[in-house]
A and B are shown apart, each in its own frame.
Chain A
Amino acid sequence: MKRQGIAEALRDGIAEEMTRDPAVFCIGEDIGVPGGWGGAFTVTLGLAEKFPGRIIDTPIAELGFTGMAVGAAMMGMRPIADMQYGDFLFLASDQLINNAAKMRYMSGGTVKVPMVMRAPIGATGRGSQHAQSMERYFTGVPGLKVVAVSNAYDAKGILKAAVRDDNPVMIFEHKLLYGSKGARAEPGAVDATSEIPDADYTVPLDQAAVRREGQHVTILGWLLMTHYAMAAATILAAEGIEAEVIDVRSLSPIDYATIGASLRKTGRVVIVEEGPKTGGVSAEIAAGIMEHCADSLMAPVVRVASPDVPVPFTPILENAYRPDVSRIVEAARRLAQT
């Protein structure tokens, strides 16, 4: 057992998978440059020395290197692609959505695309183009698996499961969760460290996780919002409201078994999403709840999300943009009292 943050846990997970399977390699911008950073958030730091030739630094060419990952995967490799900021996925999305996601189906089940795309998201003081919550754009794409990791244990286990999966898997990470200490910690970073077992393990790509049990109201979140939901639950508990917090974690497919079991207990649900409300993943979850477990609902679904605006730079507005603990507490409290 050792305590690790998400960046280190991902790094170890990648290294272990690369050791286990020579088909695994990493591709992306600034991921293995000597004297460099190991990617924008240090995830691949030191791996280039350990695995010569298998940490491939590319030109700034997202469409290109993503397409190369797809092609290499089709020929039997298992690439882990690194998108420096999730926002640049828009450039890569043609290769992901038109090629990676559809290749299996279009080929009548004859082609495999076992690739992983990792991408950090989140509003972090960088302005509108380095901030977006990108998971929403990929959750509705048939043929893609989409997961979001909120702690180091999951990050490592999900990374390993994704590498071993025979389909394209997108892993979303949050800039404020890579590490809350040290030189590269961001203002506003949250502690997402976990005890990491020494033995090999994986975390399934299609399961939500109950982070806290409660019987009055269910709060669903992912990435940073899981942490805010947990903080909200602590405040609510002091008022006598017991919230059950679920880390949705698997955004495509969504685990309605776990969500439904919780709703049968609480009958009430708040879905928290960083990112604009309209067209978000929370909309899909709300619709899914109506289809899968409407019978359990004792009150309408409530959403806490960002307003329908681009992410503003100025801290006052950025903080107002991103759902925070107090907005979650307020929503859950009101719901619990209905």
Chain B
Amino acid sequence: MKTDRAFHLKLYEQLVLIREFEERVKFLFLEGTMPGTIHQCQGQEATAVGVCAALRPDDFITSTFRGHGHALAKGLSVQEMLDELFGATTGCCKGKGGSMHMGNMDKGMVPGIAIVAGGIPLAAGMALAFKLQRRPQVVACFFGDGAVAEGAFHEGVNMAAIWDLPVILVCENNLYGASTRIDKVMKNPRVSDRAASYGFRGETVDGNDVLAVYAAAQRAAEECRAGKGPVLLELLTYRRTGHSRRDACHYQAKDEREAWFARDPIERFAVQLLDRGDVSQADLDAIKADVDRQITAGVENAKRAPQPTLADLTTDVFA
């Protein structure tokens, strides 16, 4: 396991990048300059960063409607994402996808699948292809706690299990599916228990501890590459922001929010880093300043990025 200073600072940078990206996007929406709708991941940054840090560049991820963090962690650029959000042709999906369908196949990210659980059988199918082609890649399939109730989860997971497919099933359990708390929709709220019923390994991890997520994802990736997949990782985390743009989260209890805010993944990792001795607050501040500059420049560019013309409407329908 990599434990060097540079690696840790890289993880920290990614966490901060996702947080600041989301905060800026939120501002742009509220300001009215950015079109569409958004589902954001403030508070959940460590799941994306920890899992993707354990993947190789040619490994794939699948994502959801809440995919900005996954995309940044998998290496999509701030620019191609902001351009996409502004509907520009230079966006990662030429402006045709938008916030919910962010992706870039060259960087190992399938465009986000906004149908809850829709990415699970798809990821299993990608893993089946890797197995048939004897390629060493793995797929990390991100989904929420809400997806576990869908038929697609059970059908996809069972097939991944019976054929030992190299797919890491990453459940970001943020306690809510939209406004509905998990205890109202699961008799057994421990998602990782599902794995045993299909005959493979599942594990519940503190999803707000980026190093714990990284370690778990590394174990899972190794097992998958050794033909011992799938693995189900349940990452416990919390959404600090609304489900989507106009949600004030009145269904989240105040004490619950406060307890989770106190376990913020970025603040916690900062404390861990500072405790090491060889990282200073100035190092962290410099990272933040650098990220801010990158995002500010990105927004300026995205606002001027080329918009599609009507001819683009009918392209890209067929290969």
- Pair B317/A309 contact, Cβ less than 8 Å: yes
Interface size class of B (residues with CB under 8 A): 35 or more
Contact with B along A124-167 (1 / 0, CB 8 A): 01111110000000000000000000000000000000000000
Within B245-268, which residues are at the interface with A (CB < 8 Å)?
246-247, 250-252
Residue from A127, A310, A317 in contact with B312 in the complex, judged by beta carbons closer than 8 Å: A317
Q: Bound complex: CA of A325 vs CA of B314, how far in Å?
A: 21
Residue from B35, B152, B178, B247 in contact with A125 in the complex, judged by beta carbons closer than 8 Å: B35
B180 touches A (CB below 8 Å): yes
B179 touches A (CB below 8 Å): yes
Residue from A60, A62, A63, A184 in contact with B177 in the complex, judged by beta carbons closer than 8 Å: A60
Task: Report the interface size for chain A: residues with CB under 8 A from the other chain.
Answer: 39
A30 touches B (CB below 8 Å): yes
- Pair A59/B179 contact, Cβ less than 8 Å: no
Using known A-B contacts A33-B180, A59-B146, A309-B313, determine if residue A317 contacts B100 with beta carbons closer than 8 Å.
no
- Pair B115/A312 contact, Cβ less than 8 Å: no
A53 touches B (CB below 8 Å): no
- Pair A183/B246 contact, Cβ less than 8 Å: yes
Within A55-78, which residues are at the interface with B (CB < 8 Å)?
57-64
A321 touches B (CB below 8 Å): yes
Expressed in whole angstroms, the minimum distance between the Cβ of A317 and any Cβ of chain B is 5
- Pair B308/A58 contact, Cβ less than 8 Å: no
Residues of B contacting A: mostly:
loop
Q: Bound complex: CA of A315 vs CA of B313, how far in Å?
A: 11
Expressed in whole angstroms, the minimum distance between the Cβ of B21 and any Cβ of chain A is 18
A residues within 8 A CB of B149? 59-61, 64
Q: Bound complex: CA of A125 vs CA of B34, how far in Å?
A: 11
- Pair B150/A61 contact, Cβ less than 8 Å: yes
Within A317-338, which residues are at the interface with B (CB < 8 Å)?
317, 320-321
A51 touches B (CB below 8 Å): no
Query: Which one, B91-99, B160-168, B230-238, is touching chain A?
Result: B91-99
- Pair A126/B37 contact, Cβ less than 8 Å: yes
Query: Which one, A18-26, A34-42, A210-218, A250-258, is touching chain B?
Result: A34-42
B residues within 8 A CB of A37? 179, 247
Expressed in whole angstroms, the minimum distance between the Cβ of A189 and any Cβ of chain B is 13
B residues within 8 A CB of A129? 100-101, 113-115
- Pair A30/B179 contact, Cβ less than 8 Å: yes
Expressed in whole angstroms, the minimum distance between the Cβ of B116 and any Cβ of chain A is 5
A307 touches B (CB below 8 Å): yes
B184 touches A (CB below 8 Å): yes
Residue of A63, A125, A317, A320 contacting most chain B CB atoms (<10 Å): A317
Q: Bound complex: CA of A34 vs CA of B251, how far in Å?
A: 6
A residues within 8 A CB of B96? 128, 312-314, 317
B residues within 8 A CB of A310? 317
**B252 nearest CB neighbor, chain A only:** A35
Please list the residues of chain B having a beta carbon within 8 angstroms of any beta carbon in chain A: 35-37, 87-88, 93, 95-101, 113-117, 146-147, 149-152, 177-180, 184-186, 246-247, 250-252, 307-310, 312-314, 317
Given A37-B179, A91-B150; 11 other pairs, CB 8 A cutoff? A33-B179, A36-B251, A60-B116, A63-B151, A125-B98, A126-B100, A127-B98, A127-B101, A128-B101, A317-B312, A321-B313
Name the 7 nearest CB pairs between A and B, nearest first: A313-B98, A314-B87, A59-B149, A314-B95, A35-B250, A36-B179, A59-B185
A-B contact pairs, 16 of them (CB 8 A): A59-B149, A59-B185, A60-B178, A87-B115, A91-B152, A125-B37, A127-B114, A128-B96, A129-B114, A184-B246, A187-B35, A312-B313, A313-B87, A313-B93, A317-B308, A320-B313
